[in-house]
Amino acid sequence: MIPENTQRVFVKPDDTATINCPKCQLAKTVGVGKFRTTRHTITARCACGHSFPVSLDFRKYYRKKTALPGTFKTQASAVDDKHWKKTKLAGVYSMQEPSVGCGHMQITNLSCGGLQFTTPGDHAIEVGQQAKITFTLDDRKQTKIKKHVIIQSVVGNIIGCRFADYEPLEQGLRFYLFP
């Protein structure tokens, strides 16, 4: 767990971060690439002598915390050949499709690459499924967003997903995510 007084700093693609001293307001850009594979929370020491904790965020995209209500509708996962078994049995067979579901959700964070949401109850969402997400931004225009996503992680009722590659990011969403 990261302490409350920890300064969160986003690392740029060139592995540099700008750290501001909370005491004297001195800003310094430093190379932090050596921390990418080890620890992400460090103790910085300013020229004024003040030491303070800094959390380095190496994410590809800035992630904004939100509390946006919306809806989701999952699509059936593709069934591949390894789910089939050859037999010589005669008869009529029916195949049950993989789970498809829909429901309400709350988006807890959002980035240019994807989002995370929670569901209020039980669900049948699985990693690899595609879904259609619909929500309204809490901006001045109340911008409506509809995106296709691919489920990346499922931990209980917390679902992480990335935006499908074939859809461009809407201008309203890009503007909303600007830090």
Same domain, yes or no: 151 and 71: yes
Same domain, yes or no: 106 and 161: yes
pLDDT given for residue 88 in this prediction = 67
In a domain, 90, yes or no: no
Same domain, yes or no: 33 and 108: no
Beta-bridged to residue 114, according to DSSP, are 162
Give Cα separations from 73 to 40, 76, 141, 154, 163 (angstroms): 36, 10, 25, 15, 14
In a domain, 1, yes or no: no
In a domain, 111, yes or no: yes
Q: In this structure, are residues 149 and 162 in contact, taking their beta carbons and an 8 Å threshold?
A: yes
pLDDT 10s digits, 43-87: 999 999 999 999 887 777 777 899 999 999 987 655 454 555 566
98: confidence class by pLDDT, cuts 50, 70, 90: very low
Phi/psi of residue 35, nearest 5 degrees: -95, -5
pLDDT 10s digits, 168-179: 778 888 888 876
